[in-house]
Structure 1
């Protein structure tokens, strides 16, 4: 019996923890000169995007993180993606995802206006 909805977050976390070369596989962003914007939901149940964004920020302090409480992976609906026979937990609440979707669009527009004239 498969628990529904399926959450992949622990699978990703376990894979990283069990891979002795996981640190070598990180995308090197220390010397990236591009402007980096990361928008994440703090309740992402697909993978730990907030923790990964913080790792990028550690390598490149100029990177910007905008995180949203009660928001999941796709900023949509009640945090469950229904794909017919499979239900995937994406995280967040309806209110949190709606707020993150709205605010992140404004954040992206402001970031692009500021950094890509």
Structure 2
């Protein structure tokens, strides 16, 4: 979505641009650049110490970290929220966002709603857009018939921390099946033959 929002005719996903990814949250660099310069992003410098504490308190343990609370707090405290919003209304094509209500990695539902609001407020966006949010599903909603018994993953060294992704096996199973069906229908409707 970062690319699609900056260049017409391209397609991607997401709703707000952050610095780095979860493997580099303690570093100070953006996830996206344009022409070698960072695009506006949520800079979580002010809340980074809270993340350091969270990781240090749980590193090397079997505790599962709920990163979504940290991302929510960083977003709420960010002075440049509007500047960091991705101009999704510039996308030249349909947009389907799929989120889980129990996402423990980051507040995907909240960020998808921001993107949906931008699309609703746009007078120029002419394509279909949909946000599907599944109860008891976490960060990972994939295709049917994959294992769904995971609710976390191990972030390797130097952190050795378990990062939660959320969801229940049953909720993720249902979301995978419903989201796959909805994705195929969305693609058929928006792309046609």
1:63 is matched with 129
Aligned-partner Cα distance in 1 for 2:99–2:63: 23
Task: Report how far residue 102 of structure 1 moved.
Answer: 1.3
How far residue 82 of structure 1 moved from its aligned partner, in angstroms, is 4.3
Asked whether the equivalents of residues 78 and 97 of structure 1 are also in contact (C-alpha less than 8 Å), the reply is no
Structure with the bigger RCO (C-alpha within 8 Å, sep 6+) is: 1
Shift of 1:58: 0.8
* Structure 1: gaps spanning 5 or more residues: none
Unaligned runs of 5+ in 2: 1-56, 121-127, 142-147
How many residue pairs get aligned? The number is 117
Report the counterpart of residue 188 of structure 2 in structure 1: 113
Match of 1:93 in 2: 168
TM-score (norm 2): 0.55
Question: Is 1:24 matched with 2:98?
Answer: no
TM-score normalised according to structure 1 size: 0.88
Give 3-state SS (helix, strand or coil) of 1:57's partner: helix
Aligned to 1:73: 139
Residue 47 of structure 1 pairs with residue 119 of structure 2: no
Q: Distance in 1 between matches of 2:74 and 2:154?
A: 25
Q: Report which of the two structures shows the higher radius of gyration computed on alpha carbons.
A: 2
Following superposition, the deviation at residue 72 of structure 1 comes to 0.2
In structure 2, what is the Cα distance between the partners aligned to 1:65 and 1:97? Answer: 17
1:43-101 alpha-carbon deviations (Å, 9 max, x no partner) = 11111111111111111134201110000001342422245743221111110011111
Offset, 1:116:
0.7
Q: What is the alpha-carbon distance in structure 2 between the residues aligned to residue 27 and residue 9 of structure 1?
A: 19
